[in-house]
Amino acid sequence: MSSTNFHLAPPPKIVDGLQTVPIDIQTIDGHLIFDGATQTGEGDVTLTFVVGSLDGHAIFDLRQTILEAWLDGTAVPIAMLALHDFGGGPQAELRILESMLVAGSTHTLRIRYGLGIPQASTAGSYQPNLSWSSGPRLTFNFGFTDLGPGRYLEAWVPANLIFDQFDLTLELTITNTSIDHTVMTNGTLTALGTNHFQVQWPAHSTALSTLLELRASDTLQQQTDVVTLPVSGITVTVEAWKLASSGVNLTAQITNIKNFLIANENDVGVYPHGDRFVAFFHLGGMEYDGGTTTNLSALRHETFHSWWGRGIKPASHPDGWWDEGWNEYNMAGGSGSVPFNFADPPIELSSRNAWSRLTSSAAYGSGRDFFEGLAALMSAADLSSFMDEFFASRTLQLATTAELEAHLLARSGEEDLVDAFHRFVYGLDDSTSPDLWMKDEPSHGGADYWGGTFWDSPDLWVRNTDDGGLTHQAPEYGQDNWFYARVRNRGDIARHFAVAFNSQPYAGFEFVYPNDFLPCATALAGFDLGPGEIRVVKARWPAALVPPEGTHACLLAAAIARNDHPATGVHVWEHNNLAQKNTTIVDMVPGDWIVLPFVIFNRWREWFPWFDLVLVRPKGFETLRSELLYPRGKRPLDPVSDRLDCGGGEPLAHGLDYGQWTSRNPDAAVAARFREAGVETFSKGSRASVRLKLPFNERLMVGWRVWVPENANAGTSFSVHLVKRNRFGRKPQGGLALRVRVTER
């Protein structure tokens, strides 16, 4: 069974009084019959589909005249399958099945219909065709285009919007003719008899994947050759076709295709369509999965689409701009670099209308210009590398514009990229001034400056599974985790924004924007966060980027919108767009202890070298034992020392990943780091402190040891904080939170 892609589908919508819901088609099985005697055609197709998470009326599309229909074997009146306007623009209607279906249920819909020129847009230079000539000879072609609605598979076969992936099998029969016919296709072709064929397309196919041309054999010429690709080692058969009357030199064009396939695999990645590439040299230029119908001038462009466009596929028509723009950028050399001019008028390449069903005509020129602007932000080489990563992560899958934006933001760390997408992809102006924020602690009301326990933000947390939970969990190594943030808006509507999530692989105090936040582990793009609105957003934290088990990572988040960026050089407590969670969660038994290594920074711009490390114990744990460990001979906790000698303190790399050290689970690296350590013990009480002298821009790793009281009851939990405060102004400049869950011995 094919996978479901409901997360990419447009939302349920009430249309003409009907609660409509997207469906996910699993299989399409059909028979297209062409009668040479009457010079007509008929289709008989059955869809097997799944309903989404809500009850409702299923939506699909077909641009032919329906004759009969059956839902789960029961006849359905044709009037209950009519086209309705969903607000996607002219000719973007969809059919509604006027039968209330239960969420999660599986159904079959069989439709018998007459075949004729599709009742759809006539955009594009290569039109869909069903016509007859002497013989009789049939000419039938799908004739897809992304420049008008209703011109993908739905032109001829009942299908879904392009978010859906499914198995497709079509039987093709031509009767009442003595003329042999040939099928040109990127599917798997089986001859069942004279003028009787079966074509199968794999489960990753979408409504824009399938190349199909059916013509009299004596009107065609074909040549084949093979090429071994340099990265995958796959031997690909190149099938080249033309009309017998055409002057195209197939030998020369096969050589071109072989060279393009080699270059593309070297530049982008492994060819994703098996061991075939099919080209019909005729009219226009249209891409398919491992194939094209094209004129000579468009061949290189269309071959590149088997990577960008049909290797990684747009999840909707409004997402179709990026494969065209990136294609044109690469056809122009892939090295252009022209900075964005934010005084230029907005350009809409990706409509925010989920029901739009055409790719912007500006995708080619303005899309190329957009990638030239990105190259100026991050360098052409980095842009190419990041795009290749995006392709590799989603090969034979679908991707949205927002996912591309999030990936490029995370990898490049260029915050101005958010502004560029805002203005030159989504076509939004600068007329609003949002004020996005996340709470630093429960009592935080949204001010930029906040002096509370900002290191344990209630608006930032991690979940080990994509379950929507609202409480923080310790990250699980070796698997995907999910970052969550609760984003709030105190200003005008944020028509577009992004949230960047990062993890610093050590516990520390002072984190500064943007260097500690960007580039980041993952990100997301959001839209239309209204004044006073609160929204929970999430982003997948890839397993490869989750720190190793035992690492006490600090979690960071930054909300970015046009006219609302955090200022360069600010700390979390100085800007409401920033959030931090420096909380370690451990399970321990009474009497155990844990050493949590952390890094002390002095990045405070006032250059004060004196600080207090304050231990804050919870009520009832005023005698909880705790101490600080430091390498022998490196005494940062000396109130009379003139200067901390950090020369012996190890320099910190970005990938530092010291783990925990406990009485029952020693970590060799941590134990070695603090062997023969100096010790500074905190006095008893709800608060206790020690003094620290640390010159500006210096940093040192210290160990924080905490014991679980011997009399602690299993099942209880407590949190203890270690706070770094400015010695003179008493300003908190960071903190660590340790949450201990007491378990049975």
* Contact between 84 and 24 (Cβ < 8 Å): no
The CA angle 519-523-525, to the nearest 5 degrees, is: 130
pLDDT confidence of residue 597 = 79
Supply the mean pLDDT for the chain: 90
- Per residue in 394-448, pLDDT (tens digit) is 999 999 999 999 999 999 999 999 999 999 999 999 999 999 999 999 999 999 9
Same domain, 448 and 420: no
d(C-alpha 502, C-alpha 481), whole Å: 13
Q: What values do phi and psi take at 416, rounded to 5? A: -65, -15
Same domain, 626 and 728: yes
d(C-alpha 737, C-alpha 727), whole Å: 20
Ranges of the chain whose pLDDT falls below 50:
1, 638-659
Domain termination site, one of 370, 393, 424: 424
Report which of 354, 186, 351 is spatially closest to residue 272, judged by C-alpha positions: 186
Same domain, 681 and 731: yes
Quote helix, strand, coil % in the chain, to nearest 5: 15, 35, 45
Q: Which residues contact 183 (CB under 8 A, 6 or more apart)?
A: 172, 189, 197, 199, 212, 213, 214
pLDDT confidence of residue 644 = 28
Same domain, 167 and 109: yes
pLDDT confidence of residue 594 = 87
Residue with tokens 């930054």: 558
d(C-alpha 160, C-alpha 153), whole Å: 8
* CATH number for the domain harbouring residue 413: 1.10.390.10
Same domain, 93 and 201: yes
Residue 431 lies in a domain: no
Residue 193 lies in a domain: yes
d(C-alpha 360, C-alpha 324), whole Å: 10
Residue 543 lies in a domain: yes
Residue 396 lies in a domain: yes
User: 399: how many CB neighbours lie within 10 A of its CB?
Assistant: 20
Residue 214 lies in a domain: no
* CATH number for the domain harbouring residue 268: 3.30.2010.30
* Contact between 132 and 216 (Cβ < 8 Å): no
Max CA distance (Å), the chain: 105
Residue 440 lies in a domain: yes
Domain termination site, one of 581, 613, 633: 581
Sequence-ordered strand ranges (E) for 196-349: 196-205, 212-216, 220-228, 235-243, 276-281, 285-288, 291-294, 313-314
Q: And the tokens for 577? A: 């767009």
Residue with tokens 């600010």: 570
d(C-alpha 649, C-alpha 644), whole Å: 10
d(C-alpha 220, C-alpha 246), whole Å: 9
* CATH number for the domain harbouring residue 445: 2.60.40.10
d(C-alpha 408, C-alpha 402), whole Å: 10
Same domain, 483 and 364: no
* Contact between 244 and 219 (Cβ < 8 Å): yes
Same domain, 572 and 469: yes
- Amino acid at residue number 144: F
The pTM for the full model equals 0.89
First to last CA, the chain: 48
d(C-alpha 411, C-alpha 254), whole Å: 37
Same domain, 591 and 713: yes
pLDDT confidence of residue 586 = 83
pLDDT confidence of residue 204 = 96
Domain count, the chain: 5
pLDDT confidence of residue 685 = 92
Same domain, 355 and 463: no
* CATH number for the domain harbouring residue 622: 2.60.40
Domain termination site, one of 555, 581, 607: 581
3-state secondary structure of 472: coil
pLDDT confidence of residue 667 = 54
Same domain, 469 and 530: yes
Residue 663 lies in a domain: yes
Give residue 468's region: left, alpha or beta (phi > 0; psi -120 to 50).
Answer: left
pLDDT confidence of residue 510 = 72
Q: And the tokens for 567? A: 């200022």
Same domain, 162 and 28: yes
Q: Which residues contact 66 (CB under 8 A, 6 or more apart)?
A: 78, 81, 111, 112, 113
Structural domain harbouring 737: 585-742
Residue 133 lies in a domain: no
* CATH number for the domain harbouring residue 38: 2.60.40.1730
- Per residue in 242-251, pLDDT (tens digit) is 999 999 999 9
pLDDT confidence of residue 671 = 59
H or E element at residue 421: helix 416-424
Same domain, 501 and 567: yes
